[in-house]
Amino acid sequence: MSLLSNLFGKKKKQPKAKCALSSTLLEFGEGYQLTTAQIVSSKKFWDHKMLEPETMSYTTAHFKQNDPSATQMRGIIFNKYAEEEKPWLICESYIHLFDVDQAKAQEYAKEWWSSGGSFAPPESGVAKDHLDEQSFEEMKEYATMSAGAERV
């Protein structure tokens, strides 16, 4: 009976995943899993994020026109990312933005794939719960007030 079940039974559905930053499709076992605290703690990430086409107008208005509404939008963008509870699956193209143990992040991604998408690494959840207040506020200040300045 088990041979027939193996041949004709339902196959375990594999999770589908995209890179959280580029939307690139990832194959089973690929990627790096990071926590929200790791994401928002990266100045390289914020420099990249605030220079993307979707955010560049806010960055330009913030630095060149001293527009308070653009500065406010940059703060909203930070909060949007910082409040993400789920861990992030990141592709090879973006892992260089983060100062993390890449082998461990890859191991976490493999666990995520093996668990059918349910695994979450330690310290997953919103950034404020896993960063000390000073570090969180420093990153918020950087993302809102300074990120992307060298390119504008």
Contact 117, 15 (CB under 8 A): yes
Rounded Cα distance, 100 and 34, in Å? 8
Q: Give residue 75's pLDDT.
A: 97
- Residue 16: predicted pLDDT: 85
Using one digit for the tens of pLDDT, what is the confidence trace for 73-97? Answer: 999 999 999 999 999 999 999 999 9
Domain range summary for the chain, segments of one domain joined by +: 17-151
**pTM (predicted TM-score):** 0.88
> Do the beta carbons of residue 90 and residue 19 sit within 8 Å?
yes
Residue 77 has, within 13 A of its CA and on its CB side, a CA count of 26
Q: What is the pLDDT of residue 1?
A: 47
Tell me the pLDDT of the chain averaged across its residues. 93
Within the chain, which residues score under 50 in pLDDT? 1
Q: Enumerate the β-bridge partners of residue 32.
A: 90
Long-range contacts from 3-12, C-beta under 8 angstroms, 24+ separation:
12/116
